[in-house]
Structure 1
Amino acid sequence: MTEKSPAAHATPQDAELIGADKTLLIVDDDGPFLRRLARAMEARGFAVEIAESVAEGIAKAKTRPPKHAVIDLRLGDGSGLDVIEAIRGRRDDTRMIVLTGYGNIATAVNAVKLGALDYLAKPADADEIFTALVRREGERVELPENPMSADRVRWEHIQRVYEMCERNVSETARRLNMHRRTLQRILAKRAPK
């Protein structure tokens, strides 16, 4: 992840983009990534709280709902979507970004339906995350330079059906006319490029 140099401080432009409420909750179970991102966001002017699990994220969201949030989708004890729901239940103006190494369209759609603004695949750098957090409504997102490969399109379709089946492996395998173990192996792997 790219960070500003340790000596860098929030610029007046950063502070203006962030707004008056600078609270930011980052929920990720990758400890080193979480701490690097927290430092980078503090350098940009956010008041950062961190959580390494769904349970900890929900507890912090209920205690002090943040104005901004960066939430990993797959955590050791569950789904980051649960943290999004907890935040949205307490505060409806939170600007949330879903961050994951297992990016797929189906979960992106679910995250947006629950109130996330954007969906970034790891490894996203601090600049990308900051830009997504402070992007104003109506601003256009840059289009990706490379379209999805055929393998990626197939993987996305499998993920969409899996989400439609409420993450039930057996039902998903039946609908895709695929062996259950084959499906489990596909679901366990990272998304193809």
Structure 2
Amino acid sequence: MLPMSAIAYQTLTSGAEVLEADGHGPKVMRLATGDFLKLFRRKHLISSEAFRPYAQRFADNACALSALGVPVPEIVGVYRLSSPKRTAVRYKGLPGITLRQAMNSVAPPQRRDLANRFGQLLAQLHEAGVYFRSLHLGNVLLLPDLRLGLIDFADMRLERKRLSLWKRRRNLKHMQRYEEDRRWLFEENIDDLKRGYKEISDQEEFFDE
């Protein structure tokens, strides 16, 4: 993680477009170069952010996912800012649209195919020991070559063995909090989701529990 001065930060973000912000300032910016800068704020005095900053987790997780063959943004650099007090990761974005946008814009036969593809991706992650707690259709991208990529994975964890059935169920339960995701995946196209999952994993029985 490289230090970045206030002046260097101001220079880097000159002309940047703020894509996401909260009451504390920008969270994601598109830089004039076309790269993205994602900023992380330490929310509590005592926090794991102090020992393993989220910006570094983001970069490490990108490396781990890439090693698994999952398309992810290309990391350019990881920084600790002096002002504002943030950590940040700079990366090159992936082309494409979110899977939620894709599901919303295609006909039912194409939705079935996308549900099948997502089932394959989900099984690939679970079998590799990837626990992506906040996985949903908004942080999965459909790329121009029809592969599925991942974004916004700072809270992902990579375990030493494939995920337990309990964690797989928990992952599915979290996704069902989003109304559109629940309808498209777990109601209208559940059979296609299961079929895709079963192509990769022999642990698909947890869907029915």
Q: Which has the higher contact order (CA 8 A, sep 6+)?
A: 2
- Bigger radius of gyration among the two: 2
TM-score, length of structure 1 as denominator length: 0.32
Q: Which has more helix, going by share of residues?
A: 1
Instruction: Using structure 2 for the length normalisation, give the TM-score.
Output: 0.31
